[in-house]
């Protein structure tokens, strides 16, 4: 049952082969058994989850079910969920119980899905390894000594270890796609503005986007049908007609033009990862796609641009955590300024402090034009690279991450090396484009076979075509069905 797709589970629920309560309890039992070691979840509340499952069973019995009714979904702990502890992986919000639902949570609730729990994450979504969480690092189910990627590492590990049917994540610079790659699952970052950011705790407001994490493209298409849509409460939400993201699944790929950026296959890419991606490209040739060589010349500038813009936005967004209205407050302080300083010093971890300091610096008088404004100008050039590329091709393919999962602690003392893990993903966020990662095979690392992700990038609002391209690949391969040892 734990290897069933969302469509298969929905069919079983509709046919009364299993109830939502039974399915939810199965996952809760697995969480109870495996989570103490993997640490994928921060908060689990069986009473709340089973209450939702009972309500879902009533919907199923009444014939009013939707495609996800009764399906247990894990929610990244960046989404406010009424009655649930919502921490963002930080001591700062250790005791915060959300008084309302984020838009994404509302949509899953309306669909009758079950909230299985809140997953672990890098603190305030700042990290590429899920080692910055106040609640401890998450372990990669494929090798417990390695990281699952970040910041949505808890969601990725939960899906990979079959501790949920699917999960939500957020992607600011690759935080859905990179952990999906490292954990051997599918993850999609939609076009900026398709999924509402209302109730999603902000890191970098012009980059953050919610998306699905699941085993297959078909599963993600079903989740996208629920997650997306206009929300007047979010000023960045796009007012577009709803679409069915499953509508193109099964269409042939003959005539599809796939671009391969030369910059994605240059120095820095692990040889084993490159071999897996090249084999995937060959598979697309067999499926009828035309392969086109393209260039994204400003790719290498995406890292410095991102690490100016994202910290700048973070320093502004995180200024609200001052110990006054909500969040951690120091136990002892002399005056108001001392309370601010001590509360923030105690509540934030090292990586969050580092980014707040960088962001405050680049926004300060005398440095704004030299750093922040210049970064915004280069951001425009990066977006123009993609505009020119999509004149030559329909989709862009390449590696999701430059390597397989690295060992915990390996890059902890080298922030720049950690930041380079997102070299192939960040430009997509800077341009606001949709991108996804799907399992493409395994590469040998230290004698271990570890998952490799294939990144597919589309033009704006081209998610349906991306999902069909990924689905076609998954119909002729079984990488997305592989399961880590020791989690059955």
pLDDT for 80: 98
Q: Are 410 and 417 in contact (CB under 8 A)?
A: no
Query: What is the model's pTM?
Result: 0.96
CATH 3.40.50.720 for the 6-252 domain, yes or no: no
* 3-class DSSP assignment, residue 346: helix
pLDDT for 416: 80
Q: Are 250 and 471 in contact (CB under 8 A)?
A: yes
Residues in the chain: 488
pLDDT for 454: 98
What does 269-284 look like in DSSP terms, one character per residue? S-HHHHHHHHHHHHHH
Residues with a known catalytic role: 76, 151, 175
Q: List own/partner pairs for 14-19 with CB under 8 A and 24 or more apart.
A: 14/60, 14/65, 16/60, 19/53, 19/57, 19/60, 19/70
Q: Which residues pair with 72 in a beta bridge?
A: 114
Q: Are 29 and 116 in contact (CB under 8 A)?
A: no
**CA gap 20, 452 in Å, rounded:** 33
**CA gap 419, 341 in Å, rounded:** 28
Which structure tokens are listed for 368? 């704004």
pLDDT for 315: 96
- List the chain pLDDT tens, one digit each, 488 residues: 889 999 999 999 999 999 999 999 999 999 999 999 999 999 999 999 999 999 999 999 999 999 999 999 999 999 999 999 999 999 999 999 999 999 999 999 999 999 999 999 999 999 999 999 999 999 999 999 999 999 999 999 999 999 999 999 999 999 999 999 999 999 999 999 999 999 999 999 999 999 999 999 999 999 999 999 999 999 999 999 999 999 999 999 999 999 999 999 998 999 999 999 999 999 999 999 999 999 999 999 999 999 999 999 999 999 999 999 889 999 999 999 999 999 999 999 999 999 999 999 999 988 999 999 999 999 999 999 999 999 999 999 999 999 999 999 998 878 888 888 899 999 999 999 999 999 999 999 999 999 999 999 999 999 999 999 999 999 999 999 999 998 87
Domain coordinates of the chain in residue numbers? 6-252
pLDDT for 419: 84
Which of 182, 139, 187, 269 has the alpha carbon at shortest distance from 451?
Answer: 182
**CA gap 311, 146 in Å, rounded:** 27
pLDDT for 417: 81
State the virtual CA torsion across 86, 88, 90, 96 in degrees, nearest 10.
-20
């Amino acid at each position: 049952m734990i290897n069933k797709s969302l469509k298969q589970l929905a069919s079983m629920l509709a046919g009364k082969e299993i109830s939502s309560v039974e399915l939810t309890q199965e996952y809760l039992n697995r969480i109870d058994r495996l989570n103490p070691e993997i640490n994928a979840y921060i908060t689990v509340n069986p009473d709340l989850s089973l209450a939702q499952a009972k309500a879902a069973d009533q919907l199923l019995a009444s014939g009013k079910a939707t495609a996800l009714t009764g399906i247990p979904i894990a929610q990244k702990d960046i989404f406010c969920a009424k009655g649930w502890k919502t921490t963002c992986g930080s001591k700062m919000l250790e005791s915060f119980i959300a008084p309302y639902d984020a838009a994404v949570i509302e949509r899953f609730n309306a669909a009758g899905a079950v909230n299985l729990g809140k997953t672990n994450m890098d603190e305030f979504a700042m990290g590429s390894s899920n080692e910055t969480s106040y609640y401890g690092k998450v372990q990669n189910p494929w090798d417990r000594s390695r990281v699952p990627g970040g910041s949505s590492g808890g969601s990725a590990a939960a899906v990979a270890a079959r501790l949920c049917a699917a999960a939500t994540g957020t992607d600011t610079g690759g935080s859905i796609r990179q952990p999906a790659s490292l954990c051997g699952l599918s993850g999609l970052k939609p076009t900026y503005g398709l999924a509402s950011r209302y109730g999603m705790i902000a890191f970098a407001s012009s980059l953050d986007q919610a998306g699905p994490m699941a085993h297959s493209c078909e599963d993600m298409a079903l989740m996208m049908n629920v997650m997306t849509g206009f929300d007047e409460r979010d000023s960045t939400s796009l007012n577009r007609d709803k679409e069915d993201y499953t509508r193109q699944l099964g269409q042939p790929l003959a005539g599809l033009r796939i671009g391969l950026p030369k910059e994605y296959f240059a120095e820095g890419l692990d040889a084993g990862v490159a071999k897996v991606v090249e084999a995937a490209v060959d598979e697309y040739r067999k499926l009828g796609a035309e392969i086109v060589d393209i260039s994204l010349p400003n790719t290498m500038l995406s890292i410095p641009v991102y690490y100016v813009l994202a910290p700048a936005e973070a320093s502004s967004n995180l200024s609200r955590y001052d110990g006054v209205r909500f969040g951690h407050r120091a136990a002892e302080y002399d005056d108001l300024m001392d309370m601010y300083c001590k509360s923030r010093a105690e509540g934030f971890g090292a990586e969050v402090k580092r980014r707040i300091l960088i962001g405050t610096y680049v926004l300060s008088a005398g440095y704004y034009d030299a750093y922040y404004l210049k970064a915004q100008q280069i951001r425009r050039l990066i977006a123009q690279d993609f505009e020119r590329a999509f004149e030559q091709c329909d989709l862009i393919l390449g590696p999701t991450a430059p390597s397989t999962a690295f060992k915990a602690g390996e890059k902890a003392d080298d922030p720049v090396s950690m930041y380079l893990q997102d070299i192939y993903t960040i430009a997509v966020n800077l341009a606001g484009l949709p991108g996804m990662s799907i399992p493409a095979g395994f590469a040998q690392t230290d004698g271990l076979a570890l998952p490799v992700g294939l990144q597919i990038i589309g033009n704006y609002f081209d998610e349906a075509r991306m999902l069909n391209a990924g689905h076609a690949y998954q119909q002729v391969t079984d990488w997305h069905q592989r399961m880590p040892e020791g989690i059955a």
